[in-house]
């Protein structure tokens, strides 16, 4: 009893030991309605909830269970889905009213088709929720009409359209996993439509057979004569405070007819075991989302059947992650043939004590066993061991995407080796195509199927047609499994690592792999494009080395016309999401002081004479390098100059506006232009140094358009002129300087004038006062008289004294005497 108590603590400690999850990035991503990945859609304004799919044996007709209807779609055409027939199956007005009186929403009361199975070659057996009162009927496949009146569907179809269920038909009998009551409290695994000596069976009502299950899927193994059901339920064998969800696999034998006295009309071959999707030192991914069966390769034993399932975790440490685990049939059989737990009816506690086996639970033929053996089977149905994943490890795990549905296919590559390809649907609306390699999973591509998350019930894979059908709430989507024509080069075809595709060296296209054409370039495991395409394409490194330039000049590329001191941004298309972009210039290094590599792979710099020229965008992926874009950055030609379109000798009476700048011995000629100001054409010395500072780009970036390539002009005597001319501001500088000098002169003049006036007002009265203080009144009067007479006779020699006298005269009173001076 100590183990169940310590188990939650142990699981919590394992959460801290959980290693980092490897990031799985899809190599190529196709958004909605991308021309590179064309999808076929079917939708109609009067059709919704097309979530139950059934494909005919020849793959030409797809039967769809929708809301209040069953559809027959013609999918035999490659580029279209055509509605062939439609069967309306709508509850009456009285049925809808009764559903509403039960407290259900009217949106949940229509008839949602949840069971759609071939009963025989001429009829389909269909069941729907029918306003929370399940009904089932027989439908003729040719006319899509009901052959019989619908009957009750309790135990065959869920009441609630949101409850998951599973159903399949084997030899005309229906095997289902669903709930058998209105409230959803009675889960059952049952058999219906039995005839003759065979009777309908269901699980015993004994406590513990099923604990609040959610049914996921079911599959029939003919060689085993068993049906395996996959579901999740509450694990009562774990004594946790919170409910612990576990994933289960259970089995029943199709030959079971129930016991004679014990377990009458009940399963005698029912047994269940836990599916454990867990890596070492990690918490388990315990919630099963979907599961699919992969049959063994031709000639392999039946025990090699694999079941691939998507699991999530109820633990917060693994929240948002999805894991894929695979389980082998031989491991499931081994667990069911082992020991079983014992349930104490008094304490409702499970124990794993060893006891004598009276019978082997899950073994076919127990319906003829004794009552003692059947009582042992009734009380011992939970296997002691868990079914562990193949290799006791996860097939793949994703922390970026939450997967909800999957389907799996085995594909033979060009070398004859088989690879497993998974098609995984994310909750965000993308379909991931992944191939399982020795080093792990590789996501070849992701395809956006729908924009908004919506309910998806099933994926249907048609291997002969090479398509996948996805049933959503809005319609049906048809997705081809291969997209070889998208890869335009041998390198891209090989780097994709798609087992469906290979490069044909004869036709030089990426084609579907077939048994007739095995001479294809393909490398699924390593993706070595250089080796696989050695006879098809050249490696970029052999053409453009870091310090080596071929004798011939670079390809012209795309012409980019810019102005000096303008911010330029060159885009570099990515070959894939796994590639890395690299920029190069022939015979030149890209200094970090002049160039800025942005996160999207583009290159940004300021246009200067030193940054004009050719630029090559390279893409590196898995050791293979290829050229993605070539740019020729050139200075714009001034509109005031006329550029001749083509000539060999320059004119003698005009300076050409397009000049050639070349490095000696490089063989590379880059055409650039010069700017003219005020009708003049100027050049700068070749040894002029220009300082460039790289700045952070904003949202408004320089844009350009493609222009015709201009021919290079040859200058007289072979002298090369620089293409860049800095703008001239000499006249503006002279004008500003003159205005500054005039302003300063005016300010100095005004300042001197003010100072002079203040000095005059201060000094004149003071001098007069001093003179008058030093003389007697008689002397002062005599001096005034003499000064007055001398002013008339003297010339400009005594003007200074005269001014002084004028000032003093102005201070005299009306009687001619100084104020306050006695006569």
Three-state DSSP class for residue 772: helix
Residue 754 pLDDT grade (very low, low, confident, very high; cuts 50, 70, 90): confident
CA-closest candidate to residue 326, choices 412, 247, 395, 280: 395
Q: Is residue 674 located within the same domain as residue 542?
A: yes
Residue 729 pLDDT grade (very low, low, confident, very high; cuts 50, 70, 90): low
CATH of the domain at 615: 2.60.40.10
Query: How many Å apart are CA 375 and CA 262, to the nearest integer?
Result: 7
| Residues 203-245 pLDDT 10s | 987 777 899 999 999 999 999 999 999 999 999 888 777 789 9
Q: Is residue 150 located within the same domain as residue 230?
A: no
Q: Is residue 221 located within the same domain as residue 192?
A: no
CA-closest candidate to residue 50, choices 64, 68, 69: 64
- Residue 736 in any domain: the answer is no
- Residue 372 in any domain: the answer is yes
Domain range for 163: 50-202
Axis crossing angle, helix 799-809 with helix 730-774, rounded to the nearest 10? 70
* pLDDT at residue number 772: 45
Share of the chain above pLDDT 70, in %: 75
- Residue 599 in any domain: the answer is yes
Specify the range with the lowest mean pLDDT, choosing from 65-79, 115-129, 514-528: 514-528
| Residues 579-637 pLDDT 10s | 999 999 987 788 888 999 998 899 999 999 999 999 999 999 999 998 899 999 999 88
Residue 294 and residue 408 in contact, taking contact as beta carbons nearer than 8 Å? yes
- Residue 601 in any domain: the answer is yes
Q: Is residue 186 located within the same domain as residue 225?
A: no
Q: Is residue 407 located within the same domain as residue 394?
A: no
The single-letter DSSP state of residue 67 is B
- Judged by phi (left if over 0) then psi (alpha if -120 to 50, else beta), residue 391 lies in left
Q: Is residue 292 located within the same domain as residue 378?
A: yes
* pLDDT at residue number 591: 87
Specify the range with the lowest mean pLDDT, choosing from 180-184, 391-395, 402-406, 408-412: 180-184
CB-side exposure of 343: number of CA atoms within 13 Å? Answer: 19
- Residue 16 in any domain: the answer is no
Query: How many Å apart are CA 175 and CA 155, to the nearest integer?
Result: 10
- Residue 821 in any domain: the answer is no
Residue 552, pLDDT > 60, answer no
Residue 202 and residue 265 in contact, taking contact as beta carbons nearer than 8 Å? yes
Q: Which residue among 506, 526, 546 closes a domain?
A: 526
Q: How many folded domains does the chain comprise?
A: 4
Residue 173 pLDDT grade (very low, low, confident, very high; cuts 50, 70, 90): very high
* pLDDT at residue number 108: 93
What sign does the dihedral 421-426-432-434 (CA atoms) show?
negative
Q: Which residue among 159, 179, 202 closes a domain?
A: 202
Q: Is residue 461 located within the same domain as residue 517?
A: yes
| Residues 49-105 pLDDT 10s | 999 999 999 999 999 999 999 999 999 998 999 999 999 999 999 999 999 998 899
- Residue 426 in any domain: the answer is yes
Query: How many Å apart are CA 697 and CA 137, to the nearest integer?
Result: 67
CATH of the domain at 314: 2.130.10.10
Residue 546, pLDDT > 90, answer no
| Residues 635-692 pLDDT 10s | 988 655 444 333 333 333 333 333 333 333 333 333 333 333 333 333 333 333 333 3
Q: Is residue 379 located within the same domain as residue 446?
A: no
End-to-end CA gap in the chain? 140
Q: Is residue 40 located within the same domain as residue 60?
A: no
What sign does the dihedral 421-423-426-431 (CA atoms) show?
positive
Q: Which residue among 526, 549, 581 closes a domain?
A: 526
* pLDDT at residue number 21: 53
Q: Is residue 629 located within the same domain as residue 515?
A: no
Torsion angle, alpha carbons of 495, 500, 504, 509, to 10: -80
Q: Is residue 223 located within the same domain as residue 103?
A: no
Q: How far is CA 56 from CA 76, 122, 144, 157, in A?
A: 11, 11, 14, 22
- Residue 685 in any domain: the answer is no
Across the beta sheet with 558-562, the strand order is 558-562, 624-635, 613-621, 580-584
Q: Is residue 217 located within the same domain as residue 185?
A: no
For residue 340, the Cα-to-chain-centroid distance in whole angstroms is 46
């Amino acid at each position: 009893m100590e183990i169940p108590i310590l188990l939650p603590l142990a699981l919590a400690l394992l959460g801290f030991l959980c290693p980092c999850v490897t990031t799985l990035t899809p190599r190529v991503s196709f958004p909605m309605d991308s021309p590179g990945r064309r999808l076929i859609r079917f939708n109609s304004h009067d059709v919704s909830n097309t979530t139950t799919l059934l494909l005919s044996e020849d793959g030409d007709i797809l039967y769809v269970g929708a809301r209040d209807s069953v559809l027959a779609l013609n999918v035999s055409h490659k580029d279209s889905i055509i509605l062939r027939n439609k069967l309306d199956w709508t509850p009456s007005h009285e049925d809808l009213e009764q559903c509403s009186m039960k407290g259900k929403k009217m949106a949940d009361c229509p008839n949602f088709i949840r069971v759609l199975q071939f009963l025989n070659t001429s009829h389909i057996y269909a069941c729907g929720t029918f306003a929370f009162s399940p009904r089932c009927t027989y439908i003729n496949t040719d006319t899509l009409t009901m052959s019989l009146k619908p009957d009750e569907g309790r135990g065959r179809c869920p009441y609630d359209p949101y409850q998951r269920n599973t159903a399949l038909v084997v030899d005309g009998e229906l095997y289902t996993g669903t709930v058998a009551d209105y409230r959803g409290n009675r889960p059952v695994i049952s058999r219906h439509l039995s005839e003759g000596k065979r009777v309908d069976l269901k699980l015993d009502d004994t406590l513990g057979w099923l604990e609040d299950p959610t049914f996921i899927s079911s599959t029939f193994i003919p060689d085993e004569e068993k049906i395996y059901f996959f579901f999740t339920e509450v694990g009562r064998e774990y004594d946790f405070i919170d409910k612990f969800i576990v994933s289960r696999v259970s089995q029943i034998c199709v030959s079971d007819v129930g016991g004679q006295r014990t377990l009458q009309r009940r399963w005698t071959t029912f047994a269940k075991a836990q599916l454990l999707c867990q890596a070492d030192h990690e918490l388990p991914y315990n919630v099963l989302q979907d599961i699919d069966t992969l049959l063994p390769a031709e000639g392999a034993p039946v025990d090699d059947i694999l079941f691939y399932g998507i699991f999530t975790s109820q633990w917060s440490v693994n929240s948002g992650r999805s894991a894929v685990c695979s389980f082998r049939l031989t491991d499931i059989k081994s667990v069911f043939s082992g020991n079983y737990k014992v349930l104490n009816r008094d304490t409702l506690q499970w124990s794993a004590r060893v006891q004598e086996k009276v019978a082997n639970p899950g073994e076919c033929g127990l319906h003829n066993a004794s009552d003692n053996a059947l009582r042992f089977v009734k009380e011992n149905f939970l296997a002691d061991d868990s079914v562990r994943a193949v290799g006791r490890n996860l097939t793949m795990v994703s922390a970026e995407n939450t997967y909800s549905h999957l389907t799996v296919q085995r594909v033979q590559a060009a070398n004859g080796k088989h690879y497993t390809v998974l098609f995984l649907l994310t909750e965000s609306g993308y379909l991931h195509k992944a191939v399982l390699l020795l080093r792990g999973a590789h996501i070849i591509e992701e395809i956006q199927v729908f924009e908004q998350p919506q309910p998806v019930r099933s994926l249907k894979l048609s291997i002969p047609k090479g398509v996948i059908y996805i049933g959503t709430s809005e319609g049906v989507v048809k997705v081809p499994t291969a997209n070889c024509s998208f890869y335009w080069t041998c390198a891209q075809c090989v780097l994709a690592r798609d087992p469906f595709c290979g490069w044909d060296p004869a036709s030089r296209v990426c084609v579907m792999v077939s048994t007739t054409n095995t001479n294809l370039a393909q490398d699924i495991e390593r993706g070595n494009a250089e080796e696989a395409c050695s006879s098809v394409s050249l490696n970029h490194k052999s053409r453009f080395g870091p310090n080596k330039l071929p004798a011939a000049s670079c390809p012209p590329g795309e012409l980019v016309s810019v102005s000096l001191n303008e911010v330029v941004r060159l885009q570099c298309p990515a070959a894939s999401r796994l590639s890395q972009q690299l920029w190069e210039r022939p015979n030149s290094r890209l200094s970090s002081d002049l160039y800025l590599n942005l996160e999207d792979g583009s290159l940004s710099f300021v246009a200067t004479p030193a940054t004009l020229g050719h630029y090559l965008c390279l893409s590196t992926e898995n050791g293979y390098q290829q050229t993605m874009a070539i740019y020729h950055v050139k200075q714009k030609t001034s509109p005031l100059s006329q550029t001749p379109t083509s000539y060999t000798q320059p004119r003698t009476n005009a300076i050409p506006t397009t000049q050639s700048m070349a490095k000696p011995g490089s063989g590379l000629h880059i055409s650039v232009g010069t700017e003219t100001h005020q009708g003049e054409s100027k050049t700068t010395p070749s040894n002029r140094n220009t300082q460039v500072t790289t700045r952070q780009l904003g949202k408004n970036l320089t844009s350009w358009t493609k222009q015709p390539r201009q021919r290079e002009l040859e200058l007289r005597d072979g002298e090369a002129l620089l293409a860049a001319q800095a703008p001239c501001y000499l006249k503006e500088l002279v004008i500003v300087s003159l205005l500054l000098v005039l302003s300063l002169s005016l300010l100095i003049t005004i300042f001197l004038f003010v100072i002079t006036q203040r000095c005059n007002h201060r000094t004149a009265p003071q001098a007069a006062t001093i003179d008058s203080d030093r003389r007697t009144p008689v002397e002062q009067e005599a001096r005034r008289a003499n000064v007055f007479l001398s002013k008339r006779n003297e010339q400009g020699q005594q003007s200074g004294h005269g001014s002084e006298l004028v000032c003093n005269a102005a201070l005299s009173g009306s009687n001619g005497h100084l104020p306050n001076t006695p006569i």
